[in-house]
Amino acid sequence: MVPSQTQYLIIGAGIHGLSTAWHLATELRERGLGDGSEVLVIDKTAVGAGASGVACGVIRNNYFQPAMRRLMAHSVDVWESDPEAFSYHGVGYVQAAPEAMHADVVQIHAEQQAIGYDSVLVEGVDACHDYMREMFSDWQAPGVSVILHELRGGYANNVASLRGLEEKVRAAGASIVTGVTVTGLQFTDDSSSSRRSARPSVSAVETDAGTITCEHVVAAVGPWVRDLWSMLELPSTTPVRMPDGRTVDVPMWTYWALQEGILGVDPHEFMDNRGELPPVIHVDSDAPLYDDIDGELITDQIWGIYYKPDFHFGGVQGGASPEQVGRPADTVAVDPYGVSSPEFVVGEDFVRMWTSALAVCHKRFQGRRDVYRKEPSGGLGAFTPDSFPVFDSFRGNAYVIADSNHGYKMIGVGALVAKELLGEPQDLLEPFRFARYAAGELHPTSHSPFPWS
């Protein structure tokens, strides 16, 4: 049964929607402003049916952007607050990188130290090789000249962590209703309001199960943000002031296809030299990558992969840089999503590249492509103009959480959004306002092959 009214309506039961609901309901109770029942989460399918449910689950602070680094440190605090409920494994995170990225990694380490985030920096080809051989006796990746080993972070089991969040939402008094599709928004002229927006605010959300009136609405819909953005009557393009002073009108949303998969080996085969779970490993390399089976050149451009043993997935699980969907956002079919979409599941090119890169890094993975698990994997991410999140209010009472596919690891965003919904602006979210595009206040970019680094 879908309520006909609520004070706070959150659309999307993924990592952001559930985290926001949990923290908001908790804040309302602790402040004596309610009992949590003022918060309602709706989702058109089920808890974790979107991007959060197909996420690799990696949790890291390895960002070249100071604002992202501070925000991720906050999120790691939340992951560490209840590892059992979140199925969180704090094994750490290692980035191994080539000389082209050396200065970037050194800067990340220095700024991690400045905010008290524990990490170890290793410099020099020989020192890096020795450091990794201390961890893995079969390490053999060439050309690594700098390593950043984050002692915090790691990974979480995506589905299990969402179940834990769901339990926290319900325990805080909030409600979750699934199988409810948003079909439109209703607006009212709120000219007497003291809210920032002078435009009509959202008065109700139309669904296929009835209309829900609300005082506040939160869009936490991952790759479906394009559609909620349109319902809010916000522009499909936005002017961006470039570093050279030019202003360019660019698409607000660009879709990328995620590239992840599983090598079907016993996870115990990928322990460290102590027989324990290793850190999540991320390798960027500018060494030519050759096919592990036939020896043909795959790429002579910089490439990157990440991987970890994962008993939840039942193998070694990881991925590579996503691939841009080469057409306008409004022509991309987000549904069916994830493994249900024959268009956006990973193909043989990814399997060839990823398994060959694993073999380059570890002798134990040589000649193991035949055990790659040939089951559908992948999904879509909706990226913003600069590939970094937008967290902001529109129309006075509509809050948009547009994570630009950084989402799953950012479990702490919900805590900050909850405070903003209660009238307390959060410094950690300030660098992610929509106005940064027109102002030219863009986040710096690194030399990584990944669009989100």
CB-based burial, 89-104: b 16+ in 10 Å, e otherwise: bbbbbbbbbbeebeeb
Average pLDDT, the chain: 94
Interval 260-273: pLDDT, tens? 999 999 999 999 99
How far apart (Å, rounded) are the C-alpha atoms in residues 156 and 56? 8
Instruction: Give the pTM.
Output: 0.95
pLDDT confidence bin for 52, thresholds 50/70/90: very high
- Beta sheet of 58-59, edge-to-edge order: 58-59, 154-156, 88-89
| Rounded percentage of the chain residues whose pLDDT exceeds 70 | 96
Beta strands in 44-143 (DSSP E): 58-59, 88-89, 93-97, 119-123
The residue-averaged pLDDT of 384-388 equals 94
pLDDT confidence bin for 192, thresholds 50/70/90: very low
How far apart (Å, rounded) are the C-alpha atoms in residues 106 and 131? 16
Beta strands in 81-131 (DSSP E): 88-89, 93-97, 119-123
Burial of 262 (0-12, 13-18, 19+ CB in 10 A): buried
Interval 54-70: pLDDT, tens? 888 999 999 989 999 99
- Phi/psi of residue 438, each to 5°? -65, -30
Separation in Å, CA 58 to CA 13, 49, 126, 279, 345: 19, 18, 28, 10, 20
The runs of H, that is alpha helices, within 323-411 are 348-361
| 3-class secondary structure, 324 | strand
